[in-house]
Structure 1
Amino acid sequence: MKWWKLLISVLFWLLLICVESTGVGSRRNAYATMMYMGTPRDYEFYVAIRVMLRSLSRLRVDADRVVIASVDVPTRWIHALEEEDGAKVVRVENLNNPYISDTSHDRFKLTLNKLYAWSLVDYERVIMLDADNLFLKNTDELFQCGQFCAVFINPCIFHTGLFVLQPSLTVFKNMLRDLDIKKDNPDGADQGFIGAYFSDLLDRPMFYPPRNGTKLDGTFRLPLGYQMDASYYYLRLRWSVPCGPNSVITFPGASWLKPWYWWSWPVLPLGIQWHEQRRENLGYHSEMPFVLIQIILYLGIIAITRLARPSLSKFYHRGADKNITIIQTSLKAIAMLSIIISYISPFMLVPHTIHPVLGWTLYLLGSFALSCMVTSVFFLPMLPVLTPWLGIIGVLIVMACPWYTDGVVRALSIFAYAFCASPVLWISIGKIRSSLHISLEREGLLPGRLTDSTQSNSFNKIY
């Protein structure tokens, strides 16, 4: 019986070796992205990378998912990427960017870490990605492309948010040498550097994947459908990209309007699609405690302001008659500033990467609660103070309306709404100032009322 047990053990170990040799570690290709620290948006890009990695897994790509992470990325983030998202993390030192002497290039100073993609020589092909890519379809056919392939979303400049490369230490060393000699770079970042290195790509043929699955040699242009600029969608509020498989959406442009920020929708309608992918793949568990705390806080403020009615006379000392003008001017300024703060501070407190519907709901609840507090403290009428609040709800409805025929009609509708709402807002400001004047007079903070009160008190003392 012992030889049977020995035979079973040998077969088991042989099977295990075969599984490992054909498993994730032996995959010939990889989807790669990079992560580095040192910007105010590090956490947001970390979340975006996790969503992209999980969406690739959901699409069942036949490739490793690699994160090129600088050594200063927090260990807990690395563990989450490896253990929860199934990514392979490659730790690297930040590449020195010789172009950061120009202050306009400082925000790009670490994007040259993208060049490490050429050092991933364990793979035959690598698809290098930015975090702001939204995958709609599996794009494994791109691994059949040549030594370098990219999309021209600009007529003359290809985009480095997604490109295919064949890893090569020779190319990697040549790039590092070009950095040392500070080769011309129009933007001081990866876009300009890689664009200059493959300057002849515009003259290369278009890539079409061979049906037999073979890999091509050379450099190719990729069809626009592999890197659909979100700007194309906003013009007609639908996709009209005739070439390519329409597989990937990219969001170039202002960094504060990336799709993971809750305020980007409905300003930019496609942001909701990114959040739908996050909801399906990652969820919002990390942000929910902050959301619940803020909801409880705002509801508490509303309840307290309905019960407490403070008096303006508590904010000053009546004996300081010579400073009455300064007091009433200061209170007017404080009241107007408080209204402004009640609309700004909730915006800053909402977790940046929360779902837009929840984000806007939390913001509106916060601004309503703080506005109620201002009206209670300064005895202001509710409707004028809440006019901006109602206006924000109106503009959200106008922007999110799904029945626009195209982006031009949508833009004109938003402009018309703003034009019509401006006089209402101006009238509400006038009513707030008038009501504040009446409140100050009622509390004895205006000179005329204070004089009458003083004379009356003197008369009563005489008699």
Structure 2
Amino acid sequence: MTDGLRPARPAGSPNAYVTLVTNADFALGAKALLRSLKRTDGRASDICVLHTGGVAEADLAPLVDLGARLVETDLLPTSDAFNAAHARDRLHRDAPFTKGTKPAFHTPLDNFCKLRLWQLDYERVIFLDADTLVLQPIDRLFDYPEFCAAPNVYESLADFRRMNSGVFTARPDPATFEAMMTRLDTPGAFWRRTDQTFLQAFFPDWHGLPVFCNMLQYVWFNLPGLWSWPDIRVLHFQYEKPWQDHAKADRLKLLIDLWRAHAEGAAIPDTTTLPGPPAP
């Protein structure tokens, strides 16, 4: 293991699902994600949780109980100018989120810790944001090349030109990490959507996964014709989170109830039989 990472125990598999937890809220999200992975993984792969030092031990304990391998991560050694440009207030002012509401606990600079997965001691990784749920097996993605991700589709077909970094495949390699660090923090660097914008620039020929491998929750009401429960493998709660009270909660109630069932360890419905979005 390289500098900047402190694992709680050795790796138990050459393959790992990896997520990132930077605060108590994302630890809560990760608990539901881990339960969904344990229901669907067929390869006995590791579940690795990268976490920053600001996450309390009590918030991480449920993840350990679910079998996660914890790896504490330092923030990236970026310059003061880079840090200032990507601080929450500055970034949200210069690149406002106009389609949805980012929660108060959103800390954009922390997102770049995701890049440290290229330092991990695994051969193959599937990264999943902590606000996702795995509804059907995705272990076949371990056999996919680097770098595969789904498009950032949630409003219109024009979204297909952008990738979403909530789910992607990777091959950890210290050389790749060093190349990333060389490119990430250059004079005047500003990555509008933090790690997402950077990864699309670093992997310009990214391989496209089906939207069903990273189905964004806004598709439910913006593109209901695209929603197909039998095909959805990963559900992603972008913008507002299912553990929050928020203005769109009534419209997303079925999705939120599904997340709560995972978070609470309740009976999980057969998602392939769930009703689709209501008629507009």
What TM-score do you get using the length of structure 2 for normalisation? 0.75
Closer/same/farther in 2, CA of residues 86 and 238 from structure 1, 3 Å limit: farther
Shift of 1:44: 2.1
Show the counterpart of 1:72: 54
SS in 2 for 1:114: helix
Show the counterpart of 2:211: 224
Q: Is 1:266 aligned with 2:219? A: no
SS in 2 for 1:90: strand
Shift of 1:239: 5.2
Cα deviation, 1:162-206, whole Å, max 9, x if unaligned, reads 1000111000011112234257444161111111111232xxxxx
SS in 2 for 1:266: coil
Closer/same/farther in 2, CA of residues 281 and 174 from structure 1, 3 Å limit: farther
CA distance in 2, matches of 1:146, 1:152: 16
Closer/same/farther in 2, CA of residues 187 and 119 from structure 1, 3 Å limit: same
8 Å CA contact 1:55–1:281 kept in 2: the answer is: no
Q: Is 1:45 aligned with 2:26? A: yes
Q: Is 1:169 aligned with 2:151? A: no
Shift of 1:91: 1.2
Closer/same/farther in 2, CA of residues 180 and 57 from structure 1, 3 Å limit: same
CA distance in 2, matches of 1:197, 1:237: 32
Closer/same/farther in 2, CA of residues 113 and 43 from structure 1, 3 Å limit: same
Closer/same/farther in 2, CA of residues 185 and 200 from structure 1, 3 Å limit: farther
- Superposed, 1:329-340 pairs within 5 Å as none
Structure 2 residue identity aligned to 1:267: R
Q: How large is the Cα RMSD of the aligned pairs?
A: 2.8
CA distance in 2, matches of 1:184, 1:157: 19
CA distance in 2, matches of 1:128, 1:110: 16
CA distance in 1, matches of 2:119, 2:190: 21
CA distance in 1, matches of 2:116, 2:242: 26
Q: Is 1:105 aligned with 2:70? A: no
CA distance in 1, matches of 2:63, 2:278: 41
Show the counterpart of 1:240: 227
Correspondence for 1:86 among 42, 51, 67: 67
| Count of aligned pairs between the two proteins | 236
- What are structure 2's unaligned runs of at least 5 residues? 1-9, 93-106, 153-158, 268-274
Shift of 1:75: 2.4
CA distance in 2, matches of 1:43, 1:91: 14
CA distance in 2, matches of 1:190, 1:58: 29
SS in 2 for 1:137: coil
8 Å CA contact 1:185–1:192 kept in 2: the answer is: no
Cα deviation, 1:107-160, whole Å, max 9, x if unaligned, reads 31111000011111x222101111111211010000010121111122211100
Closer/same/farther in 2, CA of residues 239 and 152 from structure 1, 3 Å limit: closer
CA distance in 2, matches of 1:190, 1:46: 19
CA distance in 2, matches of 1:119, 1:403: 40
Closer/same/farther in 2, CA of residues 182 and 199 from structure 1, 3 Å limit: farther
Higher helix share: 1
What TM-score do you get using the length of structure 1 for normalisation? 0.47
Determine which structure has greater relative contact order: mean sequence separation of CA pairs < 8 Å that are 6+ residues apart, divided by chain length.
2
Correspondence for 1:31 among 14, 17, 30: 17
Q: Is 1:157 aligned with 2:156? A: no
8 Å CA contact 2:24–2:56 kept in 1: the answer is: no
Shift of 1:25: 4.6
SS in 2 for 1:171: helix
SS in 1 for 2:172: coil
Shift of 1:57: 0.9
Higher strand share: 2
